[in-house]
Amino acid sequence: TAEGLAWLAVMVNEYSYSFESKTVTLTSDINLEGYRWYPIGGRFNKGWAWFSGTFDGQGHSISNIYVNDSNFDIGLFGYVYDISSIKNVNMVGGAVSYLFCPTDEVSNVILWPTIGGLVGKVYFGNEISNCHSSVDVYGGGVDAYEEEGVGSLCGEVTITKESIISNCSASGTVTGRINCGGLIGKLYAQLDIGRSVVRNCFATGDVNIKPGSVEAWNRGGLIGFCCGDATITNCYSTGK
């Protein structure tokens, strides 16, 4: 249920329970219409919270997600860390956007947000498979420096181990300024210690520059920005 999914977010965000070595499964479709969703995990001013377990949608859909937040990482999952797996999930419709670029209260430094329909930020070594998103995502910073990654499936994937994204697709519209991709906004595998593999994936949504942008760069139909040891095979995009 929607309430059960919200309980998962509370356990991660409020109690810092990462679900490491645990599996969470969906047993039915979930409609989030009428809810304002708060992402599972993220970088908060009070600290970090993340999901590190396995989330198996078993082919079910989560529809009509609505996120309009100023958290640092936003999506169904805000922050996914360490050895985790997200699979067999369909994100159908809805919109994810952030209100403004947040600032760390301790250092007073802007922390660039990541925005994705399924996951805002993926970090370390993870697997995402058989997941699909038709969620529209919107960046909203004051200038280009205030976005780290914007993608209909994942905002940013940063790897210091090995990560595999396979058999995934995205059809949502992506709008932002920097590191904007139809599937993944930013894909970064640290040389010598990280390796990323993207295979059998595609994106069909348009990637747009946010109106009024002073600066904008790193946009791609599939991936906005790709750096490091990354292998992309049997993938394509058809959006504008």
Per the CB < 8 A criterion, the answer to whether 90 and 132 are in contact is: yes
| Binned average pLDDT, 10 residues per bin, the chain of 240 residues | 93 92 96 93 77 96 91 89 90 87 48 87 88 92 64 88 90 92 90 79 93 74 89 93
Determine if the pTM surpasses 0.85: yes
Q: What is the pLDDT of residue 107?
A: 46
Q: What is the pLDDT of residue 185?
A: 94
Rounded CA separation 159/64 (Å) = 30
Rounded CA separation 26/224 (Å) = 31
**Contacts of 109 by beta carbon, 8 Å cutoff, 6+ apart:** 103
